[in-house]
Chains A and B, each alone.
Chain A
């Protein structure tokens, strides 16, 4: 059997190439003419040499967030932002003449599920790119999968840095972009001399506080305490007593998720009025989304250091907020991460169009230097290290759950995921 097969193959082999060439030429020509007539789009064989899910008029991407489980409350905003961006891009004619279709998977707030679903998206669905993940743990879980199958992930959350994967574009800020300018501002504007560092116990708050502590040391100022509490912790009375005893000028808070509700309520109940700014509260973890849970009256007067607030008044943001509310309802609020998630599809579109291809390698090559002048946060640009140049802004929480912007850096801040002297 084997020999016969071999013989027949080599027998045909002589005639095949010519035939195949003619056929392929004819097919390619026809496709080109066909798609040119329809969309003026380049042929699929040109824009997709790596067997991705791209047809003559569609391209399939993946959305991978938790829509069930404890993280759903945070990640839902990102899903909404990504879907909105995709719909807007489609309304403008899509990417390279192709409409974007998405396959949504649920990470279920469970890191191994994220890994399983990302493998499914890349291997089975052959998606051109994935917008997704939220927590560092979920990103760490999918990272080996993306590197193995050479996928591209647009990751929206502000995070701890210390990472730079060729297979991830980080559309949120890394730690130095969020922290350094924030601390400088409270020192210069508010005359802060001592800091109390407080966070949830995992990698992001720990790294953030490490960077904050080094920076405070450099400025010659004092850290009067540093404490961590498990995720989901709700008893902050003992630390609040310590804070009252040590009287720091600033509480630097990176408490995440549901713990925030308990923390701010107990802070208020303990008689610390944040509007007095004694001590002043500076958080890097409370966006408009979290305030929904905390309640505006409980956090009134606290400062947050972010790159985006819903209350930004530029033209881009006004249009974005309007479109977002039209699509997802008037009651909705938009936090920092939601905006960063919205950037993902737009940055990908720009990179694909610059590369003239959906191939991940070419998109990666085209990504550094991609600019977005229509970003709600203003102007952003992709750095060769796959993070975004962006501004740091300080907002002051108001009782209506929005932030009043009190400061923004003049210049875009260069992303520096491996900051020298802060390790």
Chain B
């Protein structure tokens, strides 16, 4: 991409925001947190993928999906299936009636690997499946809904129903899916132990890297004509349609994109936490993810990341300090957010801090005009010094 292209993709303010986030995630947190806390941050960040997808779907496109847990779950389960097959080698499972199949299948009297598990022996297939299967699923839902001009509240309700159905399916078919327990006890990735501290560091950085890839894609969509069309559709769908655009195709696209983001988050979750269970697929986690997005500010892609981090950090801290009362504290936090700053953290930033930063940036511009030429952490870290 040319320099001008980059400039238009990442204007000054956005560039600063990206750089500060990168600095926080790549330098500050890894240096200041021990591996346990860093692993927790890594886990929180996996939800940020979902929140990011929601910013595009809901904040820009006006499509509120209350079933993003479905895609998070599909991605997570795909990854977990691969890891579970590797952990279920005949040597590891010698104690079972049928060695070589996952333990929960053995408990459920299944004696051979079901056909749809077979392809997950391949890592390449798994990586592709993580993105493609949820996208296809989102495409089917999208076509079925948007082509019929189902939207708004009805769409939200249907996505909830899908989340409920998938949860029931996973729990009911426990011989094939692990049921309520989920897929647990994942050990190695291509022979590499994923439970060690080194692996946790590696997955953290992989997760941050993937998050930035998704952030850049989201930024690209936002800045492109597509992004402006999405906003136009949100504000006045009929006018866009009368201008000759096929509204449903744009909606389907952005819904699929959000789903693919969520699925990548799910896969990263499985890698970092070491298991996957239906508790992430249902209605409650799906709504929680909308809350992360709302706290961050539903129009801000960076806000989504901060919102997720803040809410989850609060959740962990409150529950460690007040194991019996923490839910009330969380409730109070959500009410406070909605009452005090309905546009979330990003709204707060724009209202109070943004013009100070701009002023600062304006001064800096004169002093080091070449600093912005390099995009990324180092360039701005340099500029800030």
A interface residues (Cβ-Cβ under 8 A, vs B): 67-68, 104-106, 108, 110-113, 115-116, 119-120, 123-124, 135-137, 140-141, 143-144, 148, 160, 162, 201-203, 206-207, 210, 230-231, 418, 423
Contact = CB atoms under 8 A, between A and B. Distances in A.
A388 B200 CA distance: 36
B246 interface: no
B323 A104 contact: yes
B320 A120 contact: yes
A148 B275 contact: no
Contact of B277 (A67, A112, A162, A207): A112
Interface of B: 34-36, 39-40, 43, 95, 97, 104, 107-109, 168, 171-172, 174, 179-182, 184-187, 195, 273-275, 277, 279-280, 316, 319-320, 323-324, 326-327
A418 B179 contact: no
A230 B168 contact: yes
Contacts of B324: 67-68, 106
B172 A230 contact: yes
A300 B95 CA distance: 42
Given A137-B277, A206-B108, A143 B185 contact: yes
Contacts of B182: 111, 137, 140-141
Contacts of B109: 210
A140 B326 contact: no
A35 B273 CA distance: 42
A206 B36 contact: no
A105 B107 contact: no
User: Is chain B's interface secondary structure helix, strand, loop, or mixed overall?
Assistant: helix
A119 B39 CA distance: 10
Contact of A201 (B34, B179, B195): B179
Contact of B320 (A67, A105, A207, A230): A105
B181 A137 contact: yes
Nearest to B322: A106
Contacts of A105: 319-320, 323
A415 to B, nearest CB: 16
A423 B97 contact: yes
Contact of A106 (B184, B185, B195, B326): B326
Contacts of B185: 140, 143-144
Nearest to B179: A202
B180 A206 contact: no
Nearest to B285: A110
B195 A111 contact: no
A160 B103 CA distance: 14
Given A67-B324, A143-B185, A148 B279 contact: no
Given A67-B324, A201-B174, A119 B36 contact: yes
B177 to A, nearest CB: 12
B326 A137 contact: no
B275 A141 contact: yes
30 contacts: A67-B324, A68-B326, A106-B323, A111-B275, A111-B277, A112-B275, A112-B277, A115-B273, A115-B274, A116-B40, A116-B316, A119-B36, A120-B36, A120-B320, A137-B182, A137-B277, A140-B182, A141-B182, A141-B275, A144-B185, A148-B195, A160-B107, A162-B107, A201-B171, A201-B172, A202-B174, A202-B180, A206-B174, A418-B95, A423-B97
Contacts of B277: 111-112, 137, 141
Contacts of B34: 124
Contacts of A210: 109
Most buried by B among A113, A202, A203, A210: A203
Given A201-B172, A202-B174, A206-B107, 16 more contacts: A68-B324, A68-B326, A106-B319, A112-B275, A113-B319, A120-B320, A124-B36, A136-B181, A137-B180, A140-B181, A144-B185, A144-B275, A201-B171, A201-B174, A203-B179, A423-B97
A250 to B, nearest CB: 23
B180 A141 contact: no
A137 B104 CA distance: 12
B327 A140 contact: no
B293 to A, nearest CB: 20
Nearest to B35: A123
A245 to B, nearest CB: 25
Given A123-B36, A144-B195, A210-B109, A231 B275 contact: no
Contacts of A143: 184-185
B184 to A, nearest CB: 5
- Per CB-CB distance, the 6 closest pairs between chain A and chain B, nearest first, are A106-B323, A137-B181, A140-B184, A202-B180, A123-B36, A140-B181
Contacts of A148: 195
Nearest to A68: B327
Contact of B279 (A111, A160, A230): A111
B203 to A, nearest CB: 15
A202 B177 CA distance: 12
Contacts of B184: 140-141, 143-144
A203 B107 contact: yes
B199 to A, nearest CB: 11
Nearest to B276: A112
A201 B185 CA distance: 21
B171 A115 contact: no
Contact of A112 (B172, B273, B319, B320): B273
A144 B185 CA distance: 6
A111 B181 contact: yes
Contacts of A104: 323
Contacts of A123: 35-36
Most buried by A among B95, B174, B181, B273: B181
A155 to B, nearest CB: 15
A333 B163 CA distance: 38
A144 B274 contact: yes
A203 B181 contact: yes
B159 to A, nearest CB: 21
Contacts of A135: 180
A210 to B, nearest CB: 7
A75 to B, nearest CB: 12
Nearest to B109: A210
A140 B183 CA distance: 9
A162 B185 CA distance: 15
A208 to B, nearest CB: 11
Contacts of B36: 119-120, 123-124
Contacts of A203: 104, 107, 174, 179-181
A86 to B, nearest CB: 16
B289 to A, nearest CB: 14
A132 to B, nearest CB: 12
A60 to B, nearest CB: 14
Nearest to B325: A68
Nearest to A112: B273
A120 B107 CA distance: 30
B275 A115 contact: yes
A105 B109 CA distance: 36
A143 B185 CA distance: 8
B180 A110 contact: no
Contacts of B279: 110-112
Contacts of A160: 107
A44 to B, nearest CB: 23
B181 A202 contact: yes
A106 B319 CA distance: 7
A185 B203 CA distance: 55
A111 B168 CA distance: 17
Contacts of B280: 112
